[in-house]
Structure 1
Amino acid sequence: MKLGLEQLKWNDRVTTQARKLGWSAYDQITANKRTADPSLILTRGPRLLVVWLRTGRRRPDRQPPVERFPGAEVHVWYPDDWPRVLGALVASPAPVNGPHGDGAA
């Protein structure tokens, strides 16, 4: 899928901010993007964010298959979600108590 200028700018804005905050970002090659695949995969320490970046109208009938990534933080972000984007990027990971993150020591 070929991305338009608006989508490219939105992708660049999120990726640039994430990298400034210490995230490693995996971004697909633009020519290979598919709407069902995440736009970005972000990692920092123990956190893994799987992110779909969208522009335009929010359409409940066209939501990505977030259930494909159990255990990961999944987000669908639109440009007007910028405060939520920043909140997710600066948030600390939840403490992991046991070896499986289930609170058991």
Structure 2
Amino acid sequence: MKLGLAQLEWNDRVIAQARRLGWQAYTQIGPNSRPGDPSLILTSGPRVLLVWLRTGRRLADRQPPLERFPDGMETACWYPEDWPRVLGALAGGQASGASA
């Protein structure tokens, strides 16, 4: 999937912040990514965080399939306006669930 400038900038912003806070980041950008897969897989110690990054309007029918992962797996869907939530999750808070 080809990403536009806004999506690339949002992706880079989240990755840069995660790395500043000691996270390892694996990005799904490229020809091997599938639409339902997370945009990023972040790891820090025992934590693994699956993140779908979105831009544009938040639409209920376009949310990722978070329920396909086992209970206890940290998942999140973040939009640029969720920046405070992103910072909290990367600083050690729980990130599970799609943002509303």
Q: Using the TM superposition, give the Cα deviation of residue 46 of structure 1 relative to its aligned residue in structure 2, in angstroms.
A: 1.0
The count of aligned residue pairs is: 93
Identity among equivalent positions (%) equals 71
Residue segments in structure 1 that go unaligned for 5+ positions in a row:
94-105
> Structure 1 CA distance, aligned partners of 2:5 and 2:63?
21
Structure 1 residues 23-34: aligned runs within 5 Å: 23-34=23-34
Mapped pair 1:88 → 2:89:
yes
Asked if the contact 1:3/1:30 (under 8 Å) is kept, the reply is: no
After superposition, give the CA deviation of every residue in 1:7-29 in whole Å (9 maximum; x if it has no partner): 00000000010011000111124
SS of equivalent to 1:13 = helix
> Structure 2 CA distance, aligned partners of 1:68 and 1:54?
19
Residue 80 of structure 2: aligned partner:
79
Asked if the contact 1:23/1:43 (under 8 Å) is kept, the reply is: yes
> Structure 1 CA distance, aligned partners of 2:63 and 2:93?
27
Instruction: Report which of the two structures shows the higher radius of gyration computed on alpha carbons.
Output: 1
Q: Using the TM superposition, give the Cα deviation of residue 56 of structure 1 relative to its aligned residue in structure 2, in angstroms.
A: 0.2
Aligned-residue CA RMSD (Å): 1.4
Normalised TM-score (structure 1) = 0.82
